[in-house]
């Protein structure tokens, strides 16, 4: 019987939740790395027992952990994230130039084909790669050559938070940075170019600006890697040509501001978002927590609220806090800043709380187990 393993990072530790394919009853681990901010946990698609975790603390700094037994035991691996050459400067909140400084790892993305290769997206925004299971890290520094001096932090910092590896082309990588935009490499990270044509952002006077867009998250269906869905700081967007051009698909959403976006594992035109009221009010419109689903590739959206609180709910869902499994009847999962993790075993039609009282959830990933 198949099963699922949900990996949850929170403000005060990590949790691993497991269930069989029915997803009715869940085993929830004790907190891992208790007291630490866990920005991201991710498992290798090649070896499901190989897990990586980004452990961060304002007091003790950054630590990357690795498990080779599905999360039962962990060991620290390499933690030297040194920018290549002279780091230089980037734009600061007030428009002045500010030195590039490493703060933390926001996102870990294991290779689709090699369990020893893993990518790390960091703050200040840069992309690193390890070919030895996280023991050593090397920057793919050509990314910062793409007008990096004009990149500027978003409200949460200048973070590389999304890494997508193209399953049809091992040399193609997509990344997204707040608040610089989306970028693509077609040669394994040796060179990069911005892919932000069609994005429109408040505060950027040039409508053709190549960088400076606050992208919150991008998502891809593996059967159609040229089609990407984006949740931006205002606007839900789509590209059908690997980022060469984008068009808006916000349609009838109650708000087009939000953070996560996900794609159904078997229906490449079915996407999910979680709207929040605005960039000032990070809670659901009218205090009603609803996931929205489009079955038409965007534009037309339906609210999914069965089992979710529909009054006095003022939580947020962060950019890395939504995931989908790949079972025949797929499961959708998301966590909130209120510490709830919700799951749906019917593609979003109905929801149940897996757990209610965790610390604020930073990330949710899921593995489908044999």
Residues 119-161 pLDDT 10s: 999 999 999 999 999 999 999 999 999 999 999 998 889 999 9
Q: Tell me, what's the pLDDT at 31?
A: 96
Contact call for residues 290 and 308 (beta carbons, < 8 A): yes
Contact call for residues 201 and 211 (beta carbons, < 8 A): no
Q: Tell me, what's the pLDDT at 202?
A: 80
Handedness of CA 321, 272, 48, 163 (dihedral sign): negative
| pTM to 2 decimal places | 0.96
- The CA-atom distances, in angstroms, between 144 and each of 34, 174, 210, 230 are 34, 14, 13, 21
The confidence band for 207, taking pLDDT boundaries of 50, 70 and 90, is confident
Contact call for residues 99 and 91 (beta carbons, < 8 A): no
The whole-angstrom separation of Cα 241 and Cα 245 is: 7
| Dihedrals phi, psi of 143, to nearest 5 degrees | -60, -40
The whole-angstrom separation of Cα 64 and Cα 369 is: 24
How many other C-beta atoms can be found within 10 angstroms of the C-beta atom of residue 72? 12
Lowest mean per-residue pLDDT among 58-67, 159-168, 241-250: 58-67
């Amino acid at each position: 019987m198949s099963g699922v393993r949900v990996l949850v990072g929170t403000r005060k530790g990590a949790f691993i939740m497991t269930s069989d394919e029915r997803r009715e009853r869940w085993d929830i681990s004790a907190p891992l790395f208790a007291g630490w901010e866990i920005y991201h946990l991710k498992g290798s698609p090649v070896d499901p027992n190989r897990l990586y975790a980004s452990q961060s603390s304002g007091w003790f700094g950054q630590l990357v952990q690795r498990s080779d037994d599905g999360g039962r035991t962990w060991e620290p691996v390499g933690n030297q994230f040194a920018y290549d050459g002279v780091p230089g400067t980037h734009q600061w909140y007030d428009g002045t130039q500010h030195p590039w400084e490493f703060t933390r790892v926001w996102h870990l993305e294991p290779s689709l084909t090699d369990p020893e290769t893993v990518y790390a997206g960091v703050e200040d925004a840069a992309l690193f790669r390890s070919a030895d299971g996280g023991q050593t890290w090397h920057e793919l520094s050509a990314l910062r050559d793409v007008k990096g001096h004009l990149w500027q932090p978003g409200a949460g910092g200048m973070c590389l938070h999304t890494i997508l590896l193209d399953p049809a082309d091992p040399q193609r990588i997509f990344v997204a940075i707040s608040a610089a935009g989306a970028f693509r490499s077609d040669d394994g990270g040796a060179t990069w170019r911005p892919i932000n044509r069609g994005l429109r952002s408040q505060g950027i006077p040039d409508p053709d600006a190549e960088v400076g867009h606050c992208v919150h998250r991008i998502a891809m269906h593996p059967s159609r890697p040229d089609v990407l869905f984006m949740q931006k700081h205002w606007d839900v967007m789509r590209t059908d040509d690997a980022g060469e051009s984008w068009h808006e698909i916000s349609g009838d959403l109650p708000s087009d501001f939000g953070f996560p976006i996900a794609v159904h594992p078997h229906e490449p035109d079915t996407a999910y978002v979680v709207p929040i009221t605005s960039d000032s009010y990070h809670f659901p419109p009218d205090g009603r927590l609803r996931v929205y689903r489009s079955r038409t590739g965007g534009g037309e959206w339906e609210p999914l609220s069965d089992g979710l609180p529909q009054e006095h709910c003022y939580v947020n869902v962060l950019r890395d806090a939504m995931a989908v499994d790949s079972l025949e009847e797929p499961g959708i999962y998301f966590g909130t800043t209120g510490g709830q993790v919700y799951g749906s075993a019917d593609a979003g039609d109905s929801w149940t709380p897996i757990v209610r009282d965790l610390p604020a959830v930073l990330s949710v990933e899921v593995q489908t187990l044999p």
